[in-house]
Amino acid sequence: MTLEDIGDVLEIHKSTVSRAIRDKYLRVPSGCVLFRSLFTTGIVSSDGNGDVSRNTVKTKLKELVAVEDKKKPWSDEQLAGLLQDAGMPISRRTVAKYRMELGIGGVFQRKDG
């Protein structure tokens, strides 16, 4: 969920939501969390149907890596193209960043044989 999603529901601008939650914490059983950490940032979808969350892109990236040919895994550039085709336009560098955050190795680490 993005700040814009909350703003749309409340019929206020996302910057107003951002100011309202700035420096605010939520107490949970495991401690306190910053409200801002509960929201994802959005990536504008290529089909013009609003934002796609980072988590959605990361999930799709995991799915793509799971089904790739292990003898010839896709490069970050190829993964970026596949994500673009799925309506998630991100750069090769962003693919590499998300891949590292997910603990997914590069082409040579993912290659079998």
Residues 46 and 6: their CA atoms lie apart, in Å, by: 22
- Model pTM? 0.67
The structural domain count of the chain equals: 2
Range of the domain at 107: 41-113
User: Do 51 and 29 lie in a common domain?
Assistant: no
pLDDT at 35 over 70: yes
User: Do 100 and 57 lie in a common domain?
Assistant: yes
pLDDT at 47 over 70: no
User: Do 49 and 78 lie in a common domain?
Assistant: yes
State the CB neighbour count (10 A cutoff) for residue 93: 10
Arithmetic mean of pLDDT over the chain: 89
pLDDT tens-place string over residues 48-61:
666 677 888 999 99
User: Do 61 and 103 lie in a common domain?
Assistant: yes
User: Any idea what the CATH number is for the domain that residue 78 is in?
Assistant: 1.10.10.60
> CB-based contacts of 72: which residues, under 8 Å, 6+ apart?
111
State the CB neighbour count (10 A cutoff) for residue 79: 24
User: Do 23 and 70 lie in a common domain?
Assistant: no
Q: How far is CA 12 from CA 19, 22, 59, in A?
A: 12, 16, 29
pLDDT tens-place string over residues 18-31:
999 999 999 999 99
Task: Over range 83-95, report the average pLDDT.
Answer: 93
